[in-house]
Amino acid sequence: MNVIKVTPRGYCLGVVKSIKMAKDTIKNYPNKNIYMIGLLVHNKIVVEELEKSGIIVLDDWKKTRLELIESIPKGSVVIFSAHGTNDKVIDLALKKGLTVVDTKCKWVLETEELIKDYLELGFDIIFIGKHGHPETIALTSIDEKKIHLVTNELEVENINLSPLTDIVVTNQTTLSIIDTEKIFNKINSMYKNVIYKNDICDATLQRQKAVLELDPSSVDLLFVVGDERSNNTLKLVELAKNKGINSIRINSKNDIDLNTLNNIVNVAVTAGASTPSLIQNEVIAFLESFN
């Protein structure tokens, strides 16, 4: 079996930075309780390792992040995820006397600053993102009246704005480049005064372009290693399938169904931006040894 190692794949710099900050927090505050709001990055293996190191993860979808902050004892340390966090949540943490460690990705920060700058200038914002994703929640909560969330072309039609409204369109950093372009074209067809800033991060773009460059006639199967909650992982699977490449998401080598390898000659491997190199390498080594 020929194993094609798609490059680039796996960890991006933002994820590396966030994990390092979390590990440094454990060293810097050895005598304090350390809490994490939500998942630091969307990879259960990474999160489980941090839990084993002593970090208490608060990820109850039935509660808001404000409610989760209220449950943390004064004097504790709280880590916020790479996906970004609502300013109100951070402010509450500080008012409660918590030590805040914000691991927000620089790409998310740039989008946040862009949104705030244009809101001050009186623009409405159309934000292309996934409902319920922590990055989308953080950024759209900046101004719930002036920021309009859309996930698809149909939702664009439901926005109640004048065709002459001054609009800035931006997006979640981990979306599909193809889907985002389609939604923007729909927005552009309905409104006259539109500024578009594509904020898909470089890591996501590079990994998606690497998959799009694969030749379907030369790849029998693509494994995408990554967590089911990782949007950039899911988009790699989607892009590959749309290109005509049989694609399967797995968490690790343990998820590989041997039946899927029957009659496979060329198998490719890529990984989402929050997938550890060790996990990817185990998948590659397993496939290379498979007969």
Q: Which residues in 251-267 are b (16+ Cβ under 10 Å) and which e?
A: bbbeebeeeeeeeeebb
**Structure-block tokens of residue 205:** 């773009």
Residue 232 labeled ligand binder: yes
> Is 274 annotated among the ligand-binding residues?
yes
Residue among 51, 70, 135, 288 flagged as catalytic = 135
Q: What is the token pair recorded at 7?
A: 């490059």
83 assigned binding-site residue: yes
131 is in an annotated binding site: no
DSSP letter string, 90-140: HHHHHHTTPEEEE---HHHHHHHHHHHHHHHTT-EEEEE--TT-HHHHHHH
Q: CA 24 from chain center: how many Å? A: 22
d(CA 38, CA 61): 9
**Cα distance between residue 73 and residue 129, in whole Å:** 33
Number of other residues whose CB lies within 10 A of the CB of residue 16: 14
Decide the pairing of beta strands 124-128 and 147-150: parallel
Structure tokens at 131: 């409902």
Give catalytic status of residue 135 as yes or no.
yes
Determine contact, residues 206/173, Cβ cutoff 8 Å: no
230 annotated binding-site participant: yes
In the block, tokens 């390092």 appear at 20
Q: Which amino acid is at 136?
A: T
Rounded to the nearest angstrom, the gap between the alpha carbon of residue 151 and the centroid of all alpha carbons in its chain is: 15
Residues designated as active site: 135
Binding-site residues for dimethylallyl diphosphate:
42, 83, 133, 230, 232, 274
Binding positions for isopentenyl diphosphate are: 42, 83, 133, 230, 232, 274
Binding-site sequence positions:
12, 42, 83, 105, 133, 173, 201, 230, 232, 274
Q: Residues within the annotated binding site for [4Fe-4S] cluster?
A: 12, 105, 201
